[in-house]
Chain A
Amino acid sequence: MLVADDCKKLKNLTLPTPPSGYIMMATMGNSSEKIKLEEIFVKYKSIVSFRVKKSLGAFNPDSDDVANEIITNVVEKIKKGEFRGESSIGTFIYTITSRRIVDYIRQKSKVLKHVPEPSSYPDPQEQIEDQERAEMIAIAIKKLKPKYREVLYLYYYKDLSREEVAEKLGISPRRVSERVNYSQKLLKKLIKT
């Protein structure tokens, strides 16, 4: 299902959006499988973006362009029948993504030898959305019981390892992970309500 945020991001794509219900037939060995390009957009756009931002930096102005380029490339390859089902579609897209990231970094390194890198800046719109989201999470964390807050405080804010947190609180490292995971579930509930 497309969520509002995904739709907004899809509009920004430079490639022509495939018509609704467009079904691509791809041959995969002896069998055939229907691959909905729409699904690829929705499912993998965010994964590709995440991977690109993790590698190039969250505030790299080129991140969105690189991610869009990768999705376009994926669609073109599928259309050309280059995806033959030798691996999962996820692995196929992962490979294309990794190659493009390596190319980008290589190009950037060459360019940097001659011209200074443009200063990175966050997308103001995205920054506001991030800030609002952070605000919501912050309010939810404040509502947590102290035993969950202190784990989040030590583990994520003070950057202590799981073992260090365990030692500081006198609990086992496994218990630390459980508390972090449970905090996450509680936060999800609190943010939804």
Chain B
Amino acid sequence: MRNCKFEEIIDKYLFSRLTEDEKNTFEEHYFNCPSCFEKMVERDELVAAIKYKGQEIFKDEYVAEAAKGETWWEKVTSFLTPRQWTTVAVSAALIAVITFGVLPMLKPTSPQFYINDEAVRGSKITLISPVWESETVPSKFEWKKMGEDVDYKIYIYDNGNVVWDDTTKENFILLPEKIKKTFLSGEKYSWQVKAFSPEGSLISVSSRVQFKIHNPE
């Protein structure tokens, strides 16, 4: 017997998977096609029986499926319903937006700037002394303390060239005698302090301040 082309969509009709137009067309069709109607009733009875008695009918299939075991992904996904998973995903997205998007905007952040291609975060260091002219070569270079566990590196320049540098954890440093002797009268020098975190990243840089020596020892 030749099959009717509409037979293919019987299941879709029974499971309400047709569009409104397709549904209307098929309904009109089975009012005119006894063969399709007969097959649809048989199929409907079969589906109803399977839905009603499925657990009992497919006992073997259940066992076989359980023996195969679920994959870890199936176990994870079956832990919650799709609706619950959606809620979890939306909540996680919201938390992420608040944590990484909103909170950093509320928290005051250290300024970021670049000096000689070096990325610097944090505020500038304020230098205390010497800051302008000095009668003698200064022994002590002092600046404002930035916090605990900060490494400071001091540089002394002569015409832009580093003539001496050293590192300390204090907010001052004493100039060694042998270095003091190299300073010349009437010459202008400049100094600068850089602060580093314990991990070694540059966190702050002072401005370069000039000082002039009138009468070196």
Interface positions of A (Cβ within 8 A of B): 43-44, 46-47, 50-51, 88, 90-91, 93-94, 97-98, 130-131, 133-135, 137-138, 141-142, 146, 149-150, 152-153, 155-157, 159, 177, 180, 184, 187-188
Cβ of B46 and Cβ of A138 under 8 Å apart? no
Q: Which residues of A contact B15 (CB under 8 A)?
A: 159
Per-position 1/0 for B18-60, Cβ under 8 A of A? 0000001001101111100101111111111111111011101
Within 8 Å by CB of A134, from B28, B31, B43, B49, lies B49
Q: In the complex, what residues of B have CB within 8 A of residue A141's CB?
A: 49-50, 57
Report the interface size for chain B: residues with CB under 8 A from the other chain: 33
Chain B nearest CB from A187 CB (Å) reads 7
Q: Which residues of B contact A94 (CB under 8 A)?
A: 27-28, 31-32
Residues of B within 8 A of A (CB): 8, 11, 15, 24, 27-28, 30-34, 37, 39-54, 56-58, 60-61
The contact of B58 among A44, A90, A98, A149, by CB within 8 Å, is A149
Whole-angstrom distance from the CB of A49 to the nearest CB of chain B?
10
User: In the complex the two chains form, is B45's CB within 8 Å of A44's CB?
Assistant: no
The CA-CA distance from A43 to B34 in the complex, in Å, is 8
A157 and B49 within 8 A (CB):
no
CB distance from B177 to the nearest CB of A (A): 85
Chain B residues positioned under 8 Å from A155 (CB to CB): 11
Asked whether A88 and B58 contact (CB < 8 A) given A51-B27, A98-B27, A137-B46, the answer is no
Majority secondary structure, A binding face: helix
Whether the Cβ atoms of A46 and B41 lie closer than 8 Å is yes
A-B contact count (CB 8 A): 85
Q: Is the CB of B47 within 8 A of A156?
A: yes
Known A-B contacts A90-B32, A94-B27, A157-B51; the reply to A142 vs B41 at CB < 8 A is no
Nearest CB of chain A from residue B162's CB, rounded to whole Å: 71
Please give the distance in Å from B34's CB to the nearest CB on chain A.
7
CA distance A50 to B45 in the complex (A): 12
Which residues from A are CB-within-8-Å of B32?
88, 90-91, 94
On whether the beta carbons of B48 and A184 are closer than 8 Å, the reply is no
Give the distance to chain B from A35, nearest Cβ to Cβ, in Å.
Answer: 15
Q: Mind listing 7 A-B residue pairs with CB under 8 Å?
A: A47-B37, A88-B32, A134-B49, A142-B57, A157-B57, A180-B11, A187-B46
Chain A positions within 8 Å of B28 at CB level: 90-91, 94
* A142 CA / B49 CA spacing, docked (Å): 12
Chain B residues whose CB sits within 8 angstroms of the CB of A135 once the complex forms? 49, 53
Assuming the A-B contacts A142-B57, A153-B58, A177-B8, are A90 and B49 also in contact, with contact meaning beta carbons closer than 8 angstroms in the complex? no
